[in-house]
Chains A and B, each alone.
Chain A
């Protein structure tokens, strides 16, 4: 039996193209994401921001790791690299160093960027690699069936913590800030316009920029945490979020029952990116070779 034809219905052909359709590989629709998922709105905010900034589509690179969000690189009509679990940032670093004129973006999940890939994240921050990293944080390993992640709030249930999570999660904006990221923000996928504005701002900067996007996963997070309905998590975000630009990242840890602090937290100037520093080394090597002659 052909699974594909039985499980996926083709949507009706649209009468008129959506303004952002040029960014999409429409032939790949429908996507794999569940109803209520925050990845779609996040990608929509990202392409709108790219459009606003006016970046040439041929110069945009989207690198992702593994997980639900990892699939995004195959849905957008840009150079897309769907790599191994946790390793999106090293691949993106490689692309940026070889082709510094490209706009290299990593959009991946919390499991990918902060659990298996945590080390790559802090080192890319430290080196100030010229990348925009957007992490869709859904507090869980969604694709694999709802296992505990490094971002699951204390006390929450997952398939691997049926009696509640005992591990304190990462406060990812604080981690990025402490590791030296030049831009740190947090939004949710329902704050579509504010998220878009934040991405636009980040796209116009150079250096390592990080945006955390809290993203609902009704199926594998909400279901076990009394947020079962499609819009329960969105409602939680909407009702609990407080916008506080420039907030001290130390104080933005997500805890159940407390306000979720959103905003553009950090914006700092760093003169040189990792690529610039490498160029300086290249000059030194050239000069040393000249001197030898």
Chain B
């Protein structure tokens, strides 16, 4: 596990790719601050959403979770470890500075009540062990150094033995598997919290700290009798596309408030696929989005309704 903020994450991109390729269970905590570059040390933002997904070169799938409070930061960090161990992939805890610096009550459960998942270990003797032969779940068991398995691992395209094999066939098979092992388990990984969605015609899609003003804005709208609901993405990557697709059939307008100039907004818009409107409520960082700002956006649209 390592922790960083903004520019530090940029420096880690090369090794994030290595983590994906070598399938190393890794947890990276990124407390987002305003960018680009040195930007806003250390004021809040949510600008690294796309970077964690696309920042290292090559096609890859990765997992990212976003907490909205100190308690969630604790709970989700444990989940980050479990996901990293289970799928042998780098997992990123994408918090904003607001969450990173906020103080709040945290309940730490007794150790034996915390669910912990560890990586699969090889069950065969060294001479039969193939470090990159996956099981049915597409995740290979992992031997460590010093256990007699003569682990061979590389950032190069490699075959099941872990040996470099830079051919199109091996690349095709390996990279497909690295992506599919995450895509195949979308339902297990994706965590979304929905509120007031049953009859909602307007949905506020938010994540991290912004989900708190979003929740309040929805409550304010409901008090006015406006059919608004809230979709909160706890899992940022892989993106909860099935959830958005499902609600796009009912919801007429998606409002996406975020502390950047439109990142998750693009994903939402893509999955809505023209079935409804999608509106971005951006803020470049440094300050929070208030419930009133989101509420105003809800109000603007609901006025136009027949």
Interface residues of A (CB under 8 A from B): 2-4, 25, 28, 57-59, 61, 71, 73-74, 77-85, 87, 95, 99, 101-102
Are A71 and B164 closer than 8 Å at their CB atoms? yes
Q: A58-B147, A102-B146 are in contact. Are A80 and B152 (CB under 8 A)?
A: yes
Are A81 and B153 closer than 8 Å at their CB atoms? yes
> Closest approach, in angstroms, between the C-beta of A88 and any C-beta of chain B?
12
> Closest approach, in angstroms, between the C-beta of B63 and any C-beta of chain A?
21
Which residues from A are CB-within-8-Å of B74? none
Which residues from A are CB-within-8-Å of B18? 83-84
Which residues of B146-187 are within 8 A (CB) of A? 146-156, 162-164, 167
Main SS of the interface on chain B?
Answer: loop
The closest CB in chain B to the CB of A82 belongs to B154
Are B164 and A99 closer than 8 Å at their CB atoms? no
Are A4 and B167 closer than 8 Å at their CB atoms? yes
Q: A82-B156, A84-B14 are in contact. Are A3 and B167 (CB under 8 A)?
A: yes
> Closest approach, in angstroms, between the C-beta of A29 and any C-beta of chain B?
12
Quick one: which of A2, A28, A84 contacts B155, CB cutoff 8 A? Answer: A84
Which residues from B are CB-within-8-Å of A101? 146
Main SS of the interface on chain A?
Answer: mixed
> Closest approach, in angstroms, between the C-beta of A116 and any C-beta of chain B?
11
Are A74 and B164 closer than 8 Å at their CB atoms? yes
Q: Can you list 13 residue pairs at the A/B interface with Cβ under 8 Å?
A: A2-B167, A25-B152, A28-B163, A74-B163, A79-B151, A80-B150, A80-B151, A80-B152, A81-B151, A81-B153, A84-B14, A84-B18, A99-B145
> Closest approach, in angstroms, between the C-beta of B161 and any C-beta of chain A?
9
Which residues from B are CB-within-8-Å of A87? 15
Are B146 and A74 closer than 8 Å at their CB atoms? no
> Closest approach, in angstroms, between the C-beta of A104 and any C-beta of chain B?
8
Which residues from A are CB-within-8-Å of B148? 58
Are B153 and A80 closer than 8 Å at their CB atoms? yes
Are A61 and B145 closer than 8 Å at their CB atoms? yes
Cα A61 to Cα B143 with chains together (Å): 13
Are B146 and A58 closer than 8 Å at their CB atoms? yes
Which residues from A are CB-within-8-Å of B167? 2-4
Which residues from A are CB-within-8-Å of B162? 74
Are A79 and B145 closer than 8 Å at their CB atoms? yes
Are B145 and A74 closer than 8 Å at their CB atoms? no
The closest CB in chain A to the CB of B18 belongs to A84
Cα A57 to Cα B14 with chains together (Å): 31
Cα A196 to Cα B46 with chains together (Å): 54
The closest CB in chain B to the CB of A96 belongs to B145
The closest CB in chain B to the CB of A81 belongs to B153
Are A79 and B156 closer than 8 Å at their CB atoms? no
* Listed residue (A28, A74, A87) with the most chain B CB atoms within 10 angstroms of its CB: A74
> Closest approach, in angstroms, between the C-beta of B25 and any C-beta of chain A?
13
Apart from A58-B147, A81-B153, what are 15 other A-B pairs with CB-CB below 8 Å? A25-B152, A58-B146, A59-B146, A79-B151, A80-B151, A80-B152, A80-B154, A81-B145, A82-B154, A83-B155, A84-B14, A84-B15, A84-B18, A99-B146, A101-B146
> Closest approach, in angstroms, between the C-beta of A89 and any C-beta of chain B?
13
The closest CB in chain A to the CB of B153 belongs to A81
Which residues from B are CB-within-8-Å of A79? 145-146, 149-152
The closest CB in chain B to the CB of A77 belongs to B150
> Closest approach, in angstroms, between the C-beta of A103 and any C-beta of chain B?
9
The closest CB in chain B to the CB of A80 belongs to B152
The closest CB in chain B to the CB of A61 belongs to B145
Cα A74 to Cα B164 with chains together (Å): 8
Are B145 and A102 closer than 8 Å at their CB atoms? yes
> Closest approach, in angstroms, between the C-beta of A61 and any C-beta of chain B?
5
Which residues from B are CB-within-8-Å of A99? 144-146
Q: A4-B167, A71-B164, A87-B15 are in contact. Are A82 and B147 (CB under 8 A)?
A: no
> Closest approach, in angstroms, between the C-beta of A70 and any C-beta of chain B?
9
Which residues from B are CB-within-8-Å of A95? 145
> Closest approach, in angstroms, between the C-beta of B252 and any C-beta of chain A?
48
Cα A84 to Cα B149 with chains together (Å): 22
> Closest approach, in angstroms, between the C-beta of A292 and any C-beta of chain B?
16
> Closest approach, in angstroms, between the C-beta of B149 and any C-beta of chain A?
8
Cα A85 to Cα B17 with chains together (Å): 13
Pick the 10 closest A-B CB pairs, nearest first: A82-B154, A79-B145, A58-B148, A102-B146, A79-B151, A80-B152, A61-B145, A99-B146, A77-B150, A84-B18
